[in-house]
Amino acid sequence: MKRLILQILAKILPIQTAYAHCDLPCGVYNPLQARIEAESILNIMKKYQESKDEVFKIRAILIKEERAELVKYHLWVLWTDYFKPEHAERFPQLHDLFWRATKLAGQTKKSVDPKDGEKLLDLIDEIDDIFKKN
């Protein structure tokens, strides 16, 4: 009976093999998501430096830390779901680049120095350059 049901289902819903570069068809993943959050981090760091309001500074730090976690999340999604072993072969610096970018995203939680935010954006730009070559 089970075999008959599977045969009927196979005729009604034929199995087709889909080939995609990543987990979903292209256009789903983009380093821009990480960049937007990193730009927020940089802007928060600048506003933090300009402010004398302690309450504002506390709120800025909390928001900055949330944005840093989102940068890490978006970068790891790219690294684990989009980039494949053949990318690492073509771009041997890719693993180290992601490691440094996610590490720096975590470090921006401890920093209010805009230079750290700028460095993070630079690393995301490097990832984006590789992303655009695919």
Q: What is the DSSP string of 27-88?
A: TS--THHHHHHHHHHHHHHHHHHH---HHHHHHHHHHHHHHHHHHHHHHHHIIIII--HHHH
What's the confidence (pLDDT) of residue 114? 98
What's the confidence (pLDDT) of residue 52? 98
pLDDT tens digits, one per residue of 57-69: 999 999 999 999 9
Query: Could you give the CA distance from residue 44 to residue 61 in angstroms, rounded to a whole number?
Result: 8
Superfamily covering domain 28-132: Nickel-containing superoxide dismutase (1.20.120.400)
Residue spans of the domains in the chain: they are: 28-132
Model's pTM, two decimal places? 0.80
pLDDT tens digits, one per residue of 30-45: 999 999 999 999 999 9
